[in-house]
């Protein structure tokens, strides 16, 4: 009967106290830990790649007439970091933050607001401004950027018209 107890005492003595007194001590995190994400609004183009890759719908797009909002809701986030993988600008950073408990739902939300470009022909708003700016910069100067400023619908119309003109119709 004595033996098992002795074994227990030996083991317990050997290992000592292992409990970390969190939150008075630092939490047990390795350098690889993935927590909440942060979006750098100054870099983000609003391309939506992260929204498409997010498995849990934690990232969504809210659109209104002239504004496009990229909404991150940490309450749905599974901290997979896929969004950071696919983001073409590196706007998303995976942080180590995990202490997210709150009694205000808004605390879990981050919103990146992008103004949308206005189409000079029909006046409708379409792509987010930074995205347009990037595409324009990428393209050669010349005829293309004028089309770039036009919304897809008007662009189609202009294109068709031009084609017809070329064919002499």
| Residues found near other proteins in the complex (CB under 8 A) | 1, 3-5, 7-8, 11-12, 15, 18, 28-34, 53, 55-57, 78-82, 85
The CA distance from 91 to 39, in Å, is 6
Q: Measured from the CB atom, is 97 or 153 closer to other proteins?
A: 97
Residue 83 beta carbon to ligand SF4: minimum distance, rounded to whole angstroms: 3
Q: How far is the CB of 2 from other proteins (least distance, A)?
A: 8
Interface residue list for ligand SF4 (CB under 6 A): 37, 39, 44-50, 53-56, 58-59, 70, 72, 77-83, 87-89, 91-92
- In angstroms, give the least distance from the CB of 46 to ligand SF4: 5
Nearest to 95 by CA among 116, 115, 81, 78: 81
Cβ-contact 84, 94 below 8 angstroms: yes
Cis-peptide into 117, omega within 30 deg: no
Contact status, residue 133 vs residue 141, Cβ threshold 8 Å: no
- The Cα angle at residue 127 between residues 78 and 42, in degrees rounded to 5: 60
Residue 164 binds which entry of ligand SF4, other proteins, none, CB below 5-8 Å type-dependent: none
Please say which residue, 9 or 164, places its beta carbon nearer to other proteins: 9
């Amino acid at each position: 009967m004595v033996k098992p107890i002795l074994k227990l005492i030996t083991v317990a003595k050997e290992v000592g106290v292992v409990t970390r007194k969190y939150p008075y001590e630092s939490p047990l995190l390795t350098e690889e830990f993935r927590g909440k994400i942060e979006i750098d609004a100054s870099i983000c183009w609003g391309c939506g790649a992260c929204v498409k890759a997010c498995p849990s719908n934690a990232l969504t797009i809210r659109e209104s007439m002239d504004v496009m909002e990229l909404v991150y809701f940490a309450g749905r986030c599974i901290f997979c970091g896929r969004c950071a993988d696919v983001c073409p600008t590196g706007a998303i950073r995976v942080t180590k933050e995990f202490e997210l408990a709150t009694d205000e739902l808004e605390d879990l939300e981050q919103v990146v607001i992008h103004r949308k470009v206005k189409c000079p022909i029909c006046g409708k708003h379409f792509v987010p401004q930074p995205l347009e700016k990037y595409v324009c910069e990428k393209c050669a100067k010349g005829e293309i950027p004028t089309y770039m400023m036009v919304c897809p619908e008007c662009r189609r119309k202009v294109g068709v018209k031009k084609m017809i003109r070329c064919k002499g119709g």
